[in-house]
Structure 1
Amino acid sequence: MSHIGVTGHRHLPAAVLPAVRHGMTVELSAVTTAGALSSLAAGADQLFAGIALDRGVPLTAVIPGMDYEAHLGDEDAQTSYRRLLKCCAARIDLPREPTHEEAYYAAGRWIVDHADRLIAVWDGCPARGPGGTADVVAYARSTGVPVTVLWSPGVLRC
């Protein structure tokens, strides 16, 4: 039994969605999954959380230490966040961080530290800011946590 964590971009081009959905479903089906770990951010995190819940995988929400809900994006992302949060088996509220970037990165590290493997919805490019997807992937690789990157070749992030 394993715990699978997720990291990924908030804005996903429509061209990657079929491959990402399929990859997440395969990864969540590959072994007996004890649980899924997600920060429930818009984009990759919410997509992963929904697929995990649909498959009956217990979901743990890892909430960055900041005014998180206000920074999730538009009203749809906030509504989806609240809906997913209600369905979680557990919620981890991380300590407050000095900046949003540090809070996001702390959540990503917590997920890596508690996961047996990590799904990264990542275009392979450097992070656009501190604590972004590329930084979480680098941290996972440096700690020996296996990373499965899901993306469609040639597709540029929006």
Structure 2
Amino acid sequence: MPTVATTGHMDLTVASVEPVRNALRQALAEEVGADGGLVGISCLAPGADTLFAEAVLEAGGDLVVVLPSRDYRKKQVGPEHACVFDQLVKAASEVVIMPFATADRRAYEAANAELVKRADALVAVWDGTPPSGRGGGTADTVLKARGAGVPVHVVWPEGASRRNQG
């Protein structure tokens, strides 16, 4: 059963949600194993990570959640995302909590490294923007996966955009 991880932008515009959701469904359909099975790994951040996790469950796959720190839910999950976050954690077949008390750069980098380590492939909802230099972002994870020899499938459908990119 193939294991597919995800990374992606959190700041998708409202108009981008359905095109990205549909592109993720298609990408996952291409990754399903000969046995019809699939394991999807996500950190469940708002935006791309959550859309991916929902698509994994919709496809009948097993969801593995990787949380960057012990305080991630309390400190990083806002009220607008809490309900779906909690539902996805409850639906997960496995929840991995990285050994950090607080969600910071090191915790995010470690969570992304765990995604790449477990993945047979990475689906990246990515507009191609280079790394910001802060570490732990989408571009950083794509580069880490490519460096580890993990195939990367970039999903950025026509019409997709980010709130902070105009």
Do they superpose with TM above 0.5?
yes
Q: Does 1:101 align with 2:105?
A: yes
Query: Is 1:86 the counterpart of 2:90 in the alignment?
Result: yes
> How big is the alpha-carbon RMSD for the aligned residues of Structure 1 and Structure 2?
1.9
Q: Distance in 2 between matches of 1:150 and 1:18?
A: 13
TM norm structure 2: 0.86
Structure 1, unpaired ranges of 5+: none
Offset, 1:92: 0.9
Which structure is higher in strand share?
Answer: 1
Q: 1:41 aligns with which of 20, 45, 50?
A: 45
Q: What amino acid is the match of 2:154? A: V
70, 78, 83: which one aligns with 1:74: 78
Q: Say yes or no: does 1:136 pair with 2:141.
A: yes
Asked whether the equivalents of residues 42 and 66 of structure 2 are also in contact (C-alpha less than 8 Å), the reply is yes
Asked whether the 8 Å contact 1:16–1:151 carries over to 2, the reply is no
1:151 aligns with 156
Distance in 2 (alpha carbons) for counterparts of 1:131 and 1:109 = 9
The answer on 1:9 being equivalent to 2:9 is yes
- Number of paired residues? 158
Cα shift at 1:51: 1.1
Residue 112 in structure 1 maps to residue 116 in structure 2:
yes
Deviates more, 1:15-24 or 1:109-118: 15-24
| Identity fraction in percent | 37
Task: Give the CA deviation at 1:76.
Answer: 2.1
Residues in 2 aligned to 1:98 and 1:82: alpha-carbon distance in whole angstroms: 19
TM-superposed deviation, 1:154: 7.0
Residues 103-148 of structure 1, C-alpha deviations (whole Å, 9 max, x = no match): 1111111111101000001111123432111100000010110111
Give TM-score, length-normalised by structure 1. Answer: 0.90
Q: Which residue of 2 aligns with 1:18?
A: 18
Range that drifts further, 90-99 or 36-45: 90-99
